[in-house]
Structure 1
Amino acid sequence: MRVAAVVTVSLALAGCAGAEPEQSAAPDGPNGYTLSASLDDGSILWWDGGDESGLTDLILEDPDGRMFASCLGTGPLLCLGGPEASRGALVIAPAGAERAVMHWYGQDVELVRGENTPAEAPPVFAGVMPPVVPDGAYSLEVFDGAGAVVMAQ
């Protein structure tokens, strides 16, 4: 009887010791930030909201986990950052915004809408722009659900 109990306990402990720890499928972000969107190129948008300040803080990381663009403010606000070959565009939009398009040196780039934010937080958008061409300019249009422009820069 004792042998059976020892074997049972030994097997249970061996099973526990050999088990792999559970790992989250989601990437780990900066402390306190929430994963808000994953872009087609592998970049990740992180979101954080300041409870006391009311500021929205966005970080755009490349596929290797390096931050290359950030934005901090109350919005409406457009922030650009990163190298000219792949400039990050971050938008803190007005309430009701559903869609954002960058008109980037002759190309229209649909920005990804961030998710996983509180209902009272402003909508956020992100995108990685193609390389800059010598001639041209950029502008931004943000639309509400009915297609009306609610922000332009």
Structure 2
Amino acid sequence: MRRTALRVAVVITAGLVLAGCASGDAETPEPPQGPNGYSLAANSADGSTLWWDRSEESGLTDLILEDPDGRFLASCLGAGPLLCIEGPEASKGVLVIAPAGAERAVMGWFGQEFELTRGEDLPADAPPVFVGVMPPVLPEGTFTLQVLDGAGAVIMAQ
């Protein structure tokens, strides 16, 4: 009986020590890693991630949109202004390479209006970029895009 009590005490003590080690210093979560050479530009409200890169040779802006699970959803490559809509019917990715001075982008999507997320931490000479993930396409209707400057003037429309 004495040996059993001693073993139980050792097991409990070891468990508490290990629990103390596990709950000690919390590890800092790693930031998400994008494709090689790409920088994080934005996280959409739905959890998708926009990655940004610019070709040194051509100067073209390259955008890649990943869903919340890190799977490819859409991409866009160009000098801008440019609107790219791509992806499965269930969730179309909308990527915009906007003209200089763009501050906001609003997507009219089959009767609904969506504010697109603006990319951040881009180089000063990079064009503004915007991203959004749209709900399924409806059988009737269409889409529109308005990109606005800081004063609210439309500087790009589709």
| Distance (Å, rounded) in 2 between the aligned partners of 1:132 and 1:52 | 37
Partner of 1:130: 135
TM-score normalised over the length of structure 1: 0.84
Q: Deviation string for 1:39-74 (max 9, x for gaps)? A: 111100000011221100000000111111000000
Q: What stretches of structure 1 move > 4 A for 4+ residues in a row? A: none
Q: Which of 101, 105, 130 is the matching residue for 1:100? A: 105
Question: What residue is the counterpart of 2:53 in the other structure?
Answer: 48
CA distance in 1, matches of 2:136, 2:85: 13
What displacement does 1:24 show? 5.5
Q: Which residue of 2 aligns with 1:78?
A: 83
How far apart, in 1, do the equivalents of 2:138 and 2:149 lie? Answer: 30
Q: How many residues align?
A: 133
Show structure 1 runs of 5+ residues with no match: 1-19
Tell me which residue corresponds to 1:144.
149
Secondary structure, aligned partner of 2:90: helix
Overall identity of the aligned pairs, in %: 71
Q: Which range moves more in the overlay, 44-53 or 90-99?
A: 44-53
Tell me the equivalent position of 1:29: 34
Separation (CA, whole Å) in 2 of partners of 1:67 and 1:85: 14
Instruction: Provide the C-alpha distance between the structure 1 equivalents of 2:30 and 2:122, rounded to a whole number of angstroms.
Output: 19
Q: Which moved more, 1:24-33 or 1:100-109?
A: 24-33
Gaps of 5+ in 2: 1-24
Q: Does 1:38 align with 2:38?
A: no
Give me the whole-angstrom Cα distance separating, in 1, the residues matched to 2:157 and 2:106.
Answer: 10
Distance between the aligned counterparts of 1:81 and 1:23, measured in 2? 34
Give me the whole-angstrom Cα distance separating, in 2, the residues matched to 1:62 and 1:130: 13
Q: Give the number of the structure whose alpha-carbon radius of gyration is greater.
A: 2
Secondary structure at the aligned position of 1:84 is classed as coil
Q: TM-score, normalised by structure 2?
A: 0.81
CA distance in 2, matches of 1:33, 1:137: 32
Task: Give distance in 2, aligned partners of 1:117 and 1:24.
Answer: 23
Q: Displacement of 1:25 after TM fit? A: 2.8
